[in-house]
């Protein structure tokens, strides 16, 4: 098939495909924007039809959900979407006045109508506060600078461990460490956020942090694990092969979707660093190859959520976000390398998404494809995410030299 693909134009060069991507982005924003704003503050969690989930416990606002919607509607604002400002204003207000701990500093993991529900301070959540602040700054939001300064100080003074060049994972409300656990996932998202903050501010400290994290997790830990990204570590950043903290955020084994996410982030960081660190480019290709060989379900399509240490499927759920990240990874590689296999994977993943995940009846993306065996329990309820799917639609349209917000702010779309 590669020879056939090599003889045809890349999809991203076709005007129809570019229009189709923009139409998908518009449909996602419409689905999540219709009933997204919670008048009590923050945003609703949406069911499969796009209505707020009725159960009160389902409407606890977790910080990554609040921040991702601020980021996504900043993207919408840069695209010229009317009404996007209301979402940004609403989310920024909730971050500052409800998620922020005005007494002890930092940001609560989750908040309800009557205050914090989980008052712990997670590096994962703070990474997304930084991303939201950077994106808000790009669109000129009046509260962006104070949020950016505040969360940057918290990350630097509370989370950052200079001896390792990465962040610790979690603290309680009064900044007592909760565990010796260290995770690549929070550091991966901080890498993304630091690159966005660097673009928004031109402050090299953010770029230095991103390169430091990538050096620890990709150049050292992943290379020592045969080119496969490990997820879980102890406080000395030694790989913890036995760790399992739950099937959603800290599952046992390795997560091919994160191999794909790091593929794009490594290439983006390589570009931001003026292509000086070639190990980033080489590592990206290795990660992509492992993800597509070991993570892809050859019979049914889609990526296995996790694999064990021998590369065999562990959690066979075929979720939306690894496919979204696979699209971004393939698009980046396709733009910088002429090998036909990257175009082939770009088309293959989009074909699966169009067939199994895009909900043509109700809108939005399903969180996972139906399990052909009937044995895998669903991991998510409703359609809680816009961030991964929206970026999958836009990343292929923009240069590889920066984030989505940088490309849009530069008028590249």
User: Mind listing the pLDDT tens digit for each residue in 389-409?
Assistant: 999 999 999 999 999 999 999
Instruction: Give backbone dihedrals phi and psi of 243, rounded to 5 degrees, phi first.
Output: -70, 140
**For the segment 221-265, what is each residue's pLDDT rounded down to a tens digit?**
999 999 999 999 999 999 999 999 988 899 999 999 999 999 999
Instruction: Give pLDDT, residue 57.
Output: 86
Domain at 292, CATH number: 1.50.10.10
Average pLDDT, integer, range 140-158: 98
Instruction: For residue 14, give its domain range.
Output: 2-409
How far apart CA 32 and CA 18 sit, in angstroms, is 22
**For the segment 62-120, what is each residue's pLDDT rounded down to a tens digit?**
999 999 999 999 999 999 999 999 999 999 999 999 999 999 999 999 999 999 999 99
Average pLDDT, integer, range 127-142: 98
The count of domains in the chain is: 1
Judge whether 232 counts as a catalytic residue: no
Query: Is the predicted pLDDT of residue 317 greater than 90, yes or no?
Result: yes
Q: For residue 77, give Cα distances in angstroms to 74, 80, 87, 96, 389.
A: 5, 5, 10, 20, 17
Q: Following DSSP, what letter does each residue of 249-305 receive, concatenated?
A: SS-SSB-HHHHHHHHHHHHHHHHHTTT--HHHHHHHHHHHHHIIIIIB-TTT-SB-S
Average pLDDT, integer, range 165-180: 98
Judge whether 258 counts as a catalytic residue: yes
Q: Following DSSP, what letter does each residue of 108-146 receive, concatenated?
A: -SEEETTEEEE--EEHHHHHHHHHHHHHHHHTT-TTHHH
376 pLDDT band, cuts 50/70/90, is confident
Query: Is the predicted pLDDT of residue 297 greater than 90, yes or no?
Result: yes
* Percent of the chain surpassing pLDDT 70: 100
Contact 30, 78 (CB under 8 A): no
Cα 368 versus chain centre, distance: 16
Q: What is the mean pLDDT of the chain?
A: 96
**For the segment 182-204, what is each residue's pLDDT rounded down to a tens digit?**
999 999 999 999 999 999 999 99
Q: Which helix (H) or strand (E) holds 306?
A: strand 306-307
Instruction: Give pLDDT, residue 338.
Output: 87
**For the segment 11-61, what is each residue's pLDDT rounded down to a tens digit?**
999 999 999 999 999 999 999 999 999 999 999 999 999 999 998 888 899
How far apart CA 162 and CA 156 sit, in angstroms, is 9
**pTM attached to this predicted model:** 0.97
CA-angle at 299, arms to 7 and 246, nearest 5°: 115
List the catalytic residue out of 258, 290, 304, 314: 258
Query: Is the predicted pLDDT of residue 1 greater than 70, yes or no?
Result: no
Contact 383, 320 (CB under 8 A): no
């Amino acid at each position: 098939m590669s020879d056939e693909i090599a003889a045809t134009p890349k999809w991203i060069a076709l005007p129809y495909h570019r229009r189709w991507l923009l139409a998908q982005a518009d449909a996602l924003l419409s689905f999540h924007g219709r009933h997204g704003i919670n008048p009590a503050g923050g945003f609703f969690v949406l069911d499969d039809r796009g209505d707020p989930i009725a159960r009160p416990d389902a409407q606890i606002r977790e910080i990554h959900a609040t921040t991702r919607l601020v980021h996504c509607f900043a993207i919408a604002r840069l695209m010229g979407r009317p009404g996007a400002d209301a979402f940004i204003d609403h989310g920024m207000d909730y971050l500052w006045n409800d998620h922020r701990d005005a007494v002890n500093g930092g940001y609560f993991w989750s908040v309800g109508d009557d205050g914090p529900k989980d008052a712990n301070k997670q590096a994962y959540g703070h990474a997304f506060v930084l991303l939201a602040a950077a994106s808000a700054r790009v669109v000129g939001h009046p509260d962006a600078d104070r949020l950016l300064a505040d969360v940057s100080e918290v990350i630097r003074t509370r989370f950052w461990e200079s001896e390792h060049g990465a962040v610790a994972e979690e603290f309680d409300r009064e900044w007592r460490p909760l565990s010796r656990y260290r995770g690549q996932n929070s550091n991966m998202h901080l890498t993304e956020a630091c690159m966005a903050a660097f673009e928004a501010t031109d402050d090299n400290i953010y770029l230095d942090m991103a390169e430091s994290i990538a050096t620890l997790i990709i150049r050292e830990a992943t290379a020592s694990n045969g080119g496969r990204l490990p997820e879980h570590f102890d406080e000395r950043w030694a790989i913890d092969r036995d760790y399992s903290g739950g099937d959603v955020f800290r599952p046992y084994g390795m997560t091919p979707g994160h191999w794909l996410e790091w593929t794009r982030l490594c290439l983006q960081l390589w570009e931001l660093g003026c292509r000086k660190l070639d190990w980033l480019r080489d590592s990206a290709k290795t990660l992509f190859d492992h993800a597509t060989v070991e993570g892809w379900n050859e019979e049914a399509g889609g990526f296995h959520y996790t694999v064990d240490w021998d590369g065999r499927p562990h959690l066979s759920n075929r979720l939306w976000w690894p496919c979204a990240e696979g699209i971004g990874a393939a698009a980046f590689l396709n733009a910088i390398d002429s090998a036909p296999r990257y175009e082939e994977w770009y088309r293959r993943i989009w074909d699966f998404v169009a067939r199994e995940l895009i909900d043509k009846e109700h809108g939005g993306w399903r969180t996972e494809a139906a399990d052909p065996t009937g044995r895998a329990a669903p991991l998510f309820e409703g359609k809680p995410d816009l961030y991964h799917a929206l970026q999958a639609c836009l990343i292929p349209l923009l240069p590889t030299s920066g984030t989505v917000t940088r490309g849009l702010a530069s008028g590249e779309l």
